[in-house]
């Protein structure tokens, strides 16, 4: 039934004046609205960061049902054109899906000849555009259930402040002088001891290089051990943060499927038999949680030895295992010196610390240090001595033990709350390790929406629940939501789960 269209457009922003819904059009009203909004965004008439009217206001303006506007917005959310901040409205996203799609074909985006762009904005290079499109938006939200946010209320900041003061009140010249590119000696020794004891990593302190986190570790290995154009197996699904360092080093990431035993060596060999490196999370796959089986580990090590290839082992959350036997690092099985092991303190202490480490085979560690010196001089010594003291005085081990109990309890709380409120919608399995759970979409929910739509609905309700399919490259991704529970208290968890259930209900 055609309805009279409203003539009152004063409350809409000028760029929305052109919106018209044609009841005679064979396309549904929500498809028309979706198409027109998308076109306004892509043409730039709705600029990045522009605020959109609420679904209610827009429905009133267009004299359509609110369902129409909600569904059109949801689709634009799900596809990344819109973003929202809890309670503060709906905005055009900073990085649009078209930018993202453009770089999913890494081969051509890395080769300037193959993609002439005379219309490149702002004088960015071809590589620069690829960088820009790697990243979606700014720093993450702290809302439940953001991934990778540890519990902070329990971190002993008073102690941390005291350790900093002790270091800096009357520093020796060793502290203020230009430092060692490998990092502060006592911290290297403390980390070597820790990874030997806790992770069965075989190393001494000379093999430990202090970094600003996993990305710098990957950069050093990539710059030192590979040449531009070399191929690198990366896990699919996997950690998107790998792509910046790989792009900077001119490498070609080759996504390799992960099965129930970890990265599929067979698929890797089929897709890129000449790969020079594999980047893996064998202890606890990110984000699926799979543990790489022993046969797969040995096969991967054999591959690296036989092909003179390298394995980069990202042991990103190995500190948190709640059940089962702690698994040794892949590095400890390596007899050929082909594994570079990286870890970070962002999830163990606090994210803004930005300290991590590389453990490299002794024969190459001094070269990685020299590359570090050439790339970025040496790491700041402001926090390193305090962190070394935090280890030496037993605070590190004590903090991990406390957090392990806390996170195990929070995971159990999340599983219980999900059973109570989400059982028709999401299927959660407990995990023996980590800081998040994977919630698969239930069959009835999957009939109604895909995971990106579900994630968008959650975000609009103030809940962060990243869609699993976003961690895949290529069209066929698994469907699910990832729920980071480490930073959410047990009083909050049931409430947030209820909100999530309502948003998806």
Q: Interacting stretch for a second copy, rule CB under 8 A, among 139-147, 191-199, 392-400, 494-502?
A: 139-147
Backbone angles phi and psi of 239, in degrees to 5: -85, 120
Site for a second copy, residues 344 to 373, rule: CB under 8 A: 346, 350-355, 363-364, 367, 370-371, 373
How far apart are CB 286 and a second copy at their closest, in Å?
15
Q: Is 219 a residue that touches a second copy (CB under 8 A)?
A: yes
Structure tokens given for 231: 């191929």
CB of 11 to a second copy, least distance (A): 30
User: Minimum CB separation from a second copy for residue 356, in Å?
Assistant: 10
Two tokens, residue 352: 């803004």
107 binds a second copy (CB under 8 A): no
Tell me the β-bridge partners of 436.
Answer: 484
- SS3 of 478, please? coil
Residue 257 bridge partners (DSSP):
236
Q: Are strands 480-484 and 262-263 parallel, antiparallel or unpaired?
A: unpaired
Q: How many CA atoms lie within 13 A of 74 on its CB side?
A: 21
**Rule CB under 8 A: is residue 179 a binding residue for a second copy?**
yes
User: Judged by CB under 8 A, which stretch of 11-19, 39-47, 118-126, 392-400 contacts a second copy?
Assistant: 118-126
SS3 state of residue 312: strand
Residue 287 near residue 193, CB atoms below 8 Å = no
Stretch that binds a second copy, among 31-39, 80-88, 150-158, 443-451 (CB under 8 A): 150-158
E strand or H helix at 275, and its extent? none
454-483 binders of a second copy (CB under 8 A):
none
Tokens standing for residue 398: 């004590």
Question: Which residues, including other chains, have CB under 8 Å from residue 104's CB and lie 6 or more apart?
Answer: 473
Which of 1, 14, 24, 122 lies at the binding interface for a second copy (CB under 8 A)? Answer: 122
C-beta of 137: minimal distance to a second copy in Å? 9
Q: Minimum Å distance from CB 385 to a second copy?
A: 10
250 belongs to the binding site for a second copy (CB under 8 A): yes
What is the closest distance, in whole angstroms, from the C-beta atom of residue 103 to a second copy in the complex? 11
Q: Is 170 in the site for a second copy (CB under 8 A)?
A: yes
Select from 134, 123, 77, 148 the least CA-distant residue to 101: 134
User: What's the min distance (Å) between Cβ of 124 and a second copy?
Assistant: 6
Pick the piece of the chain touching a second copy (CB under 8 A) from 64-72, 236-244, 280-288, 445-453.
236-244
Helix (H) or strand (E) holding 400: helix 395-421
- Among 89, 228, 430, 505, which residue interacts with a second copy (rule: CB under 8 A)? 228
> 453 — phi, psi (to 5°)?
-65, -45
Instruction: Please identify, among the stretches 134-142, 254-262, 290-298, 316-324, the one whose residues bind a second copy according to the rule CB under 8 A.
Output: 134-142
Q: State how beta strands 231-236 and 277-280 pair.
A: parallel
207 binds a second copy (CB under 8 A): no
Q: How far is the CB of 383 from a second copy (least distance, A)?
A: 4
Residue 166 vs 405, nearer CB to a second copy: 166
Closest CA to 433 of 345, 344, 324, 276: 324
């Amino acid at each position: 039934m055609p309805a009279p269209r409203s003539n009152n457009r004063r409350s809409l922003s000028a760029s929305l004046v052109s919106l018209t819904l044609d009841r005679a059009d064979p396309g549904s009203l929500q498809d028309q609205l979706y198409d027109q909004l998308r076109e306004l965004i892509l043409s730039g008439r709705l600029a990045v960061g522009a605020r959109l009217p609420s679904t209610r206001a827009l429905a009133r303006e267009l004299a359509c049902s609110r369902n129409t506007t909600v569904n059109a917005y949801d689709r634009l959310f799900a596809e990344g054109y819109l973003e929202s901040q809890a309670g503060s409205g709906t905005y055009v996203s900073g990085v649009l899906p078209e930018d993202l799609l453009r770089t999913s074909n890494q081969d051509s985006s890395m080769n300037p000849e193959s993609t002439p762009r005379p219309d490149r904005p702002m004088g960015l290079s071809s590589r620069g555009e690829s960088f820009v499109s790697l990243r979606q938006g700014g720093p993450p939200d702290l809302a439940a259930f953001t991934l990778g946010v540890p519990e902070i209320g329990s971190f002993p900041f008073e102690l941390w402040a005291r350790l900093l003061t002790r270091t800096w009140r009357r520093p020796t010249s060793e502290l203020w002088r230009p430092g060692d590119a490998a990092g502060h000696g006592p911290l290297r020794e403390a980390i070597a001891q820790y990874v030997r004891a806790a992770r069965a990593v075989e190393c001494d302190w000379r093999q430990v290089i202090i970094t600003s986190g996993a990305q710098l570790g990957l950069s050093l290995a990539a710059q030192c051990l590979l040449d531009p154009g070399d191929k690198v197996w990366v896990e699919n699904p996997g950690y998107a943060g790998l792509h910046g360092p790989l792009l900077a080093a001119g490498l070609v990431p080759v996504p390799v499927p992960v099965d129930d035993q970890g990265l599929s060596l067979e698929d890797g060999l089929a897709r890129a038999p000449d790969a020079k490196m594999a980047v893996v999370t064998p202890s606890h796959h990110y984000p699926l949680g799979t543990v790489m089986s022993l046969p797969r580990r040995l096969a991967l090590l054999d591959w690296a030895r036989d092909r003179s290839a390298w394995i980069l082992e990202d042991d990103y959350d190995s500190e948190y295992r709640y059940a089962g036997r702690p698994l040794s690092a892949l590095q400890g099985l390596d007899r050929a010196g082909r594994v570079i092991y990286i870890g970070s303190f962002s999830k163990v202490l606090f994210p803004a610390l930005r300290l991590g480490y590389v453990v490299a085979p002794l024969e190459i560690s001094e070269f990685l240090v020299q590359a570090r010196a050439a790339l970025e001089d040496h790491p700041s010594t402001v926090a390193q001595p305090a962190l070394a003291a935090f280890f030496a005085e037993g605070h590190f081990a004590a903090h991990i033990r406390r957090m392990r109990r806390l996170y195990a309890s929070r995971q159990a709380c999340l599983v219980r709350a999900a059973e109570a409120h989400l059982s028709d919608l999401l299927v959660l399995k407990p995990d023996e390790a980590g800081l998040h759970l994977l919630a698969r979409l239930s069959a009835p929910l999957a009939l109604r929406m895909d995971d990106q739509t579900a994630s968008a609905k959650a975000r609009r309700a103030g809940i962060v629940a990243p869609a699993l399919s976003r961690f895949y490259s290529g069209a066929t991704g698994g469907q699910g939501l990832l729920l980071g529970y480490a930073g959410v208290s047990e009083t909050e968890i049931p409430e947030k789960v209820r909100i999530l259930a309502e948003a998806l209900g």
